[in-house]
Amino acid sequence: MNRLKSLILIITFLFFLSWSGVAIYSYLQLGHLKTVAGSDGVLPPDYSGKAILGAQVYTANGCMTCHTQQVRQLDVTHSDIDRKWGTRPSVALDYLRDRTAFLGNRRIGPDLSNVGSRLTDPVWYYQHLYEPDQITSGSIMPSYRYLFHMQKIQGEPSALAIALVGPHAPPPGYEVVPTKDAQDLVAYLLSLKHDYILPEVSAETPSAP
């Protein structure tokens, strides 16, 4: 039984080496970061209530299956910043406010860590979520029509109604309005702006190419 015991001991030791080295150490080193004071408030900025609900819609629909939220460091690649997916590489502090960090591992669609700075018009988001291929020709994003509601126009058309042209556009007399989920999701996407300058990265901020 002695050999069995020593074997189990070595296995346990090696296993805990990686377990403590990666899981526990990351938690200790990165799990207790503090916000920093920026020129216009606390950084990273907190999400609005709508944006927090929107992050839940993002979670429920698995957006991170196709979209990453990380701009890679410059010593590895310049392409993320050259694509205007961000002005600086992402750092751990950027995810401080995220309940779930949507780093992602696959780019079937573009990176979204700064989509709120890139595209600022909520209507664009609604149209794109409803009929992606009409807005961006060649897009393979699926339609999120189920986040919208088609209704008969009664009296004045709704202020929220969105203009659509594709095969799923509403027939005359009807209009398409975003549900609360869609509104929250767009609020969340619009709040994805990691372009503030943090003290720990300001030194690495790239000069214009």
CA distance 80 to 70: 9
d(CA 177, CA 153): 11
Total binding residues toward other proteins, as defined by CB under 8 A: 79
Nearest distance in Å: CB 155, other proteins: 28
State in angstroms the smallest separation of the CB of 143 from other proteins.
Answer: 5
**Rounded alpha-carbon distances, angstroms, from residue 46 to 28, 64, 102, 182, 188:** 23, 21, 16, 20, 11
Distance of alpha carbon 148 from alpha carbon 123, whole angstroms: 13
The answer to whether 30 contacts other proteins (rule: CB under 8 A) is yes
| Residue 139 binds other proteins, judged by CB under 8 A | yes
Residue 89: cis peptide before it, omega within 30 degrees of 0: no
Under the binding rule (CB under 8 A), the answer on residue 79 touching other proteins is yes
180 binds other proteins (CB under 8 A): no
150 is an interface residue for other proteins by CB under 8 A: no
Residue 23 lies near other proteins (rule: CB under 8 A) = yes
Q: Is 5 in the site for other proteins (CB under 8 A)?
A: no
**Residue 93 interacts with other proteins (CB under 8 A): yes or no:** yes
Closer CB to other proteins, residue 75 or residue 156?
A: 75
In Å, how far are 69, 190, 202 from 54, measured between CA atoms? Answer: 15, 10, 29
Report in angstroms how near the CB of residue 182 gets to other proteins at its nearest. 12
- Contact status: 199 vs other proteins (CB under 8 A): no
Q: In whole angstroms, what is the distance from residue 23 CA to residue 25 CA?
A: 6
Interface of this chain with other proteins, residues 52 to 71, rule: CB under 8 A? 58-66, 68, 70
Q: Which stretch binds other proteins (CB under 8 A): 28-36, 118-126, 156-164, 172-180?
A: 28-36
Of positions 19, 121, 197, 204, contacts other proteins by CB under 8 A: 19
Where does residue 138 fall: left (phi above 0), alpha (psi -120 to 50 degrees), or beta otherwise? left
Residue choice 6, 9, 15, 121 for contact with other proteins (CB under 8 A): 15
How many Å apart are CA 91 and CA 80, to the nearest integer?
A: 14
CB 131 within 8 A of CB 99: no
Instruction: Give the residue with the Cβ less far from other proteins, 15 or 174.
Output: 15
